[in-house]
Amino acid sequence: MNPSHKSITWHHPSVSKLERYQLNGHNSCTLWFTGLSGSGKSTLAFSLEKELLTRGIRSYVLDGDNIRHGLNSDLSFSEQDRRENIRRIGEVSKLFVDAGLFVLSAFISPHTQDREMVRSLFQPGEFLEVYVKCSLEECEYRDPKGLYKKARRGDIHHFTGISARYEVPVQPDILIDTETSGVQESVQFIIKQLEERNIL
């Protein structure tokens, strides 16, 4: 524990999460999209955000690339910094849930231990791991940002799937296979899953 924590006091909020739910007219949760680069995590998250908007659901996307332009611009892609990247986003996601919003976090988050660490921050039912399944071959074929080519050339180090491992979720809460399902079909499947869990 950081020694400075001894002088920090936790201030309890005067507005409860339930009161925020009542104000918004809906509950809140984190949908954590994990998968290889190019699997479609961000596309799916932003499309789901649009669908939730049409339903009057307040939500926000935390995207891996976008976050590294600001909050996590000081982090590299080393294993230690990747872990810190996920830790920070987990804490930010928790704040969004406390605020009564749906947060759609799209991060490769390659390690099971890190994803479970984030899950542990939430109450049961407030965190859903969404595994965006797509083979390395297909992701490398898509290569929308040209990152796989750079990784193969050795220009990018610690690149997940090439020079760094990805640990596939064993029992994700929701599984989306973007090689066999389109974006809108996948969005509707997630909506159905949320409804069946009485989150929507």
Residue 76 assigned ligand-binding role: no
Q: Is 7 exposed, middle or buried (0-12, 13-18, 19+ CB in 10 A)?
A: exposed
Residue 150 assigned ligand-binding role: no
Edge-to-edge strand list for the sheet holding 29-34: 59-63, 102-106, 29-34, 127-133, 174-177
Catalytic residue among 47, 109, 163, 181: 109
Distance between CA atoms of residues 103 and 90, nearest Å: 10
Residue 70 assigned ligand-binding role: no
Residue 35 assigned ligand-binding role: yes
User: Within 10 Å of residue 185's Cβ, how many Cβ atoms?
Assistant: 10
Of 135, 141, 179, 143, which is closest to residue 35 (Cα–Cα)? 135
- Residue 109 known to be catalytic: yes
Residue 181 assigned ligand-binding role: no
Residue 146 assigned ligand-binding role: no
Q: Give the chain's largest Cα–Cα span.
A: 54
Active-site amino acid positions: 109
Bind-site residues for ATP: 35-42
